[in-house]
Amino acid sequence: MVLIEWSKDLELGIPEIDKQHRKLVEMLNEFYTELEEGHKQEAVEHFLKNLEDYLSFHLDYEEKFMEEIGFPETEGHKKVHQMFKKLYAEEKNRYLQGDTKALRELVAFAFSWLFSHIMKTDRKYADFLKEKRG
Ligand SMILES: [Fe+2]
């Protein structure tokens, strides 16, 4: 697995949301680096909790944002978020139940999900907003 480098391709042109996406990428990079270097269980659990909190803050923020701009596909987008949260929770539980491989899978999954989600799904409300603003 490789770290994600922030690039212009990931920018949606919505400053607050770009900032949050950037922070998520940073958190995942940090987490992955920590895993590579060996880690204490306590630190990992702390990190998992932080990541989960920030993710849920971010996804809620996005959902409110889509509602505010009147994005017509908000409901479908919310379902995608719910599915992600469910998968994240499942991987986390697997780890907490003693499956050590689940941790790397969780980070890898969160990375690839975030990347393609920003590029494909989030881009849709950004394009909608651009068009609306003209
Ligand atoms: Fe999203």
**Alpha-carbon dihedral of residues 51, 55, 61, 64, nearest 10 degrees?**
-150
92, 106 Cβ separation under 8 angstroms: yes
- For residue 31, report the distance from its CA to the centre of ligand 1, in Å: 21
- pLDDT band at residue 22 using 50, 70 and 90 as cut-offs: very high
Rounded distance from Cα 23 to ligand 1 centre (Å): 14
Tokens representing 38? 């060996």
Asked whether residue 20 is domain-assigned, the answer is yes
Distance 57 CA to ligand 1 centre (A): 12
CATH number at residue 88: 1.20.120.50
Distance from residue 55's CA to the centre of ligand 1 (Å)? 10
Give the torsion sign (CA, 57, 58, 64, 65): positive
Residue 129 lies in a domain: yes
Cα angle vertex 76, ends 73, 82, to 5°?
140
Q: Which of 4-8, 23-27, 55-59, 60-64 shows the lowest per-residue confidence on average (mean pLDDT)?
A: 4-8
Answer for the pair 106, 88: CB distance below 8 angstroms, yes or no.
yes
- C-alpha 25 to ligand 1 mean position (Å): 14
Question: For residue 8, is it within any domain?
Answer: no
Task: Kindly state whether residue 54 falls inside one of the protein's structural domains.
Answer: yes
Structural domain span for residue 31 = 15-133
* Number of domains, the chain: 1
pLDDT value at residue 2: 60
Ligand 1 center from residue 122 Cα (angstroms):
5
Question: Is the overall model pTM greater than 0.75, yes or no?
Answer: yes
pLDDT digits (tens, 9 = 90+) for 61-72: 999 999 999 999
Please report whether residue 65 resides in a domain: yes
Is residue 5 a part of any domain in this protein? Answer: no
Would the pLDDT of 9 be above 70? yes
Per-residue model confidence (pLDDT) at position 103: 87
CA of 27 to the centre of ligand 1 (A): 17
If you average pLDDT over every residue of the chain, what do you get?
Answer: 92
Helices (H), 69-100: 74-96
Dump pLDDT digits (tens) for 79-116.
999 999 999 999 999 998 999 888 888 988 998 899 99
